[in-house]
Amino acid sequence: MSHDESKAPSRLKKFLQSWLINTLAVLITVVLLRGHIRYAETIDLFIASLLLGILNAFIRPVMMFMALPLLIFTLGLFTLVINACMLYLVHWLMGTHFEVDSFGWAFIGSLVISIVSVVLNVLTGTGNARITVRRGPPRDPNRPGGDGPVIDV
Protein backbone atom coordinates (compact mmCIF):
# COMPACT_ATOMS: atom_id res chain seq x y z
CA MET A 1 0.00 0.00 0.00
CA SER A 2 1.41 3.38 -0.97
CA HIS A 3 1.72 6.35 1.35
CA ASP A 4 -1.23 8.16 -0.29
CA GLU A 5 -3.50 5.12 0.04
CA SER A 6 -2.89 4.92 3.79
CA LYS A 7 -3.97 8.54 4.21
CA ALA A 8 -7.24 8.06 2.28
CA PRO A 9 -9.28 6.70 5.23
CA SER A 10 -7.92 9.51 7.41
CA ARG A 11 -8.96 12.15 4.86
CA LEU A 12 -12.39 10.59 4.49
CA LYS A 13 -12.83 10.49 8.26
CA LYS A 14 -11.78 14.13 8.57
CA PHE A 15 -14.15 15.14 5.75
CA LEU A 16 -17.07 13.28 7.34
CA GLN A 17 -16.35 14.81 10.77
CA SER A 18 -16.18 18.27 9.26
CA TRP A 19 -19.40 17.74 7.31
CA LEU A 20 -21.21 16.42 10.39
CA ILE A 21 -20.06 19.37 12.50
CA ASN A 22 -21.06 21.79 9.74
CA THR A 23 -24.47 20.11 9.42
CA LEU A 24 -25.03 20.28 13.17
CA ALA A 25 -24.01 23.94 13.18
CA VAL A 26 -26.46 24.72 10.37
CA LEU A 27 -29.21 22.75 12.18
CA ILE A 28 -28.63 24.67 15.42
CA THR A 29 -28.72 27.91 13.44
CA VAL A 30 -32.00 26.94 11.78
CA VAL A 31 -33.48 26.15 15.21
CA LEU A 32 -32.22 29.40 16.77
CA LEU A 33 -33.34 31.56 13.83
CA ARG A 34 -36.61 29.68 13.40
CA GLY A 35 -38.67 31.02 10.55
CA HIS A 36 -35.89 33.13 9.03
CA ILE A 37 -33.66 30.27 7.86
CA ARG A 38 -35.44 27.02 7.00
CA TYR A 39 -35.15 23.83 4.99
CA ALA A 40 -37.85 21.70 3.37
CA GLU A 41 -36.66 18.11 4.03
CA THR A 42 -33.94 16.63 6.23
CA ILE A 43 -31.90 15.72 3.16
CA ASP A 44 -31.97 19.40 2.17
CA LEU A 45 -30.17 20.27 5.41
CA PHE A 46 -27.39 17.79 4.61
CA ILE A 47 -27.15 19.05 1.02
CA ALA A 48 -27.08 22.69 2.19
CA SER A 49 -24.25 22.01 4.64
CA LEU A 50 -22.31 20.06 1.99
CA LEU A 51 -22.83 22.87 -0.52
CA LEU A 52 -21.75 25.43 2.08
CA GLY A 53 -18.58 23.41 2.68
CA ILE A 54 -17.84 23.21 -1.05
CA LEU A 55 -18.42 26.94 -1.51
CA ASN A 56 -16.21 27.69 1.50
CA ALA A 57 -13.46 25.52 0.02
CA PHE A 58 -13.51 26.94 -3.51
CA ILE A 59 -15.35 30.28 -3.76
CA ARG A 60 -14.58 31.80 -0.35
CA PRO A 61 -10.77 31.94 -0.89
CA VAL A 62 -11.30 33.80 -4.16
CA MET A 63 -13.64 36.26 -2.44
CA MET A 64 -11.16 36.69 0.42
CA PHE A 65 -8.40 37.50 -2.07
CA MET A 66 -10.57 39.94 -4.00
CA ALA A 67 -11.65 41.64 -0.76
CA LEU A 68 -8.13 41.79 0.69
CA PRO A 69 -8.04 45.61 0.92
CA LEU A 70 -11.40 45.60 2.76
CA LEU A 71 -10.24 42.78 5.02
CA ILE A 72 -7.13 44.74 5.95
CA PHE A 73 -9.05 47.99 6.42
CA THR A 74 -11.69 46.32 8.65
CA LEU A 75 -9.09 44.21 10.49
CA GLY A 76 -10.71 41.03 9.21
CA LEU A 77 -14.29 41.86 10.13
CA PHE A 78 -15.29 41.86 6.46
CA THR A 79 -14.91 38.07 6.70
CA LEU A 80 -18.34 38.07 8.36
CA VAL A 81 -19.83 39.63 5.22
CA ILE A 82 -18.11 37.03 3.02
CA ASN A 83 -19.46 34.23 5.24
CA ALA A 84 -22.95 35.72 4.92
CA CYS A 85 -22.52 35.80 1.13
CA MET A 86 -21.67 32.09 1.17
CA LEU A 87 -24.81 31.25 3.18
CA TYR A 88 -26.97 33.46 0.97
CA LEU A 89 -25.44 31.81 -2.11
CA VAL A 90 -26.52 28.41 -0.73
CA HIS A 91 -30.05 29.84 -0.45
CA TRP A 92 -29.87 31.15 -4.01
CA LEU A 93 -28.64 27.81 -5.38
CA MET A 94 -31.12 25.63 -3.47
CA GLY A 95 -34.23 27.79 -3.90
CA THR A 96 -37.18 26.59 -1.81
CA HIS A 97 -35.19 23.64 -0.41
CA PHE A 98 -33.11 25.94 1.82
CA GLU A 99 -34.40 29.46 2.38
CA VAL A 100 -32.90 32.52 4.04
CA ASP A 101 -35.24 35.51 4.42
CA SER A 102 -32.69 38.24 3.68
CA PHE A 103 -29.00 39.05 3.60
CA GLY A 104 -29.34 40.34 7.18
CA TRP A 105 -30.55 36.94 8.34
CA ALA A 106 -27.76 35.30 6.32
CA PHE A 107 -25.29 37.53 8.21
CA ILE A 108 -26.72 36.54 11.60
CA GLY A 109 -26.93 32.90 10.50
CA SER A 110 -23.33 32.80 9.34
CA LEU A 111 -22.24 34.32 12.64
CA VAL A 112 -24.12 31.63 14.59
CA ILE A 113 -22.75 28.88 12.31
CA SER A 114 -19.20 30.16 12.87
CA ILE A 115 -19.57 30.26 16.66
CA VAL A 116 -21.23 26.84 16.86
CA SER A 117 -18.61 25.33 14.53
CA VAL A 118 -15.74 26.65 16.64
CA VAL A 119 -17.34 25.32 19.84
CA LEU A 120 -18.02 21.90 18.29
CA ASN A 121 -14.49 21.71 16.84
CA VAL A 122 -12.99 22.53 20.24
CA LEU A 123 -15.22 19.99 22.00
CA THR A 124 -14.44 17.21 19.50
CA GLY A 125 -10.75 18.05 19.07
CA THR A 126 -11.10 18.48 15.31
CA GLY A 127 -10.09 21.66 13.53
CA ASN A 128 -7.32 24.04 14.56
CA ALA A 129 -8.99 25.90 17.43
CA ARG A 130 -7.69 25.11 20.89
CA ILE A 131 -8.46 26.70 24.22
CA THR A 132 -5.90 26.51 27.01
CA VAL A 133 -6.03 28.08 30.43
CA ARG A 134 -2.79 28.60 32.31
CA ARG A 135 -1.49 30.71 35.12
CA GLY A 136 0.38 33.82 34.09
CA PRO A 137 3.93 34.60 35.13
CA PRO A 138 4.51 35.67 38.73
CA ARG A 139 3.34 39.21 39.38
CA ASP A 140 6.00 41.90 39.33
CA PRO A 141 5.20 44.43 42.08
CA ASN A 142 6.70 47.23 39.95
CA ARG A 143 4.32 46.62 37.01
CA PRO A 144 0.57 47.21 37.06
CA GLY A 145 -1.73 44.37 36.03
CA GLY A 146 -3.27 41.25 37.38
CA ASP A 147 -1.81 37.85 37.99
CA GLY A 148 -4.94 35.87 37.12
CA PRO A 149 -5.28 33.09 34.62
CA VAL A 150 -4.38 33.59 30.98
CA ILE A 151 -6.79 32.16 28.40
CA ASP A 152 -5.37 31.44 24.94
CA VAL A 153 -7.85 30.81 22.17
pLDDT at 14: 85
pLDDT digits (tens, 9 = 90+) for 134-147: 666 656 666 666 55
Strands 149-152 and 37-39, sheet pairing: unpaired
Domain annotation covers residue 28: yes
- Beta-bridge partner residues of 150: 134
Domain annotation covers residue 153: no
Domain annotation covers residue 10: yes
Range of the structural domain that residue 21 is part of: 3-128
Domain annotation covers residue 27: yes
Domain annotation covers residue 51: yes
**Alpha carbon 150 to chain centroid, angstroms:** 25
| Domains identified in the chain, total number | 1
**In contact, 119 and 127? CB cutoff 8 Å:** no
Helix/strand/coil for 46? helix
Domain annotation covers residue 17: yes
- Looking at the chain, how many residues does it have? 153
pTM of the model: 0.76
Confidence grade of residue 113 (pLDDT, cut at 50, 70, 90): very high
Domain annotation covers residue 138: no
pLDDT digits (tens, 9 = 90+) for 49-93: 999 999 999 999 999 999 999 999 999 999 999 999 999 999 999
Domain annotation covers residue 25: yes
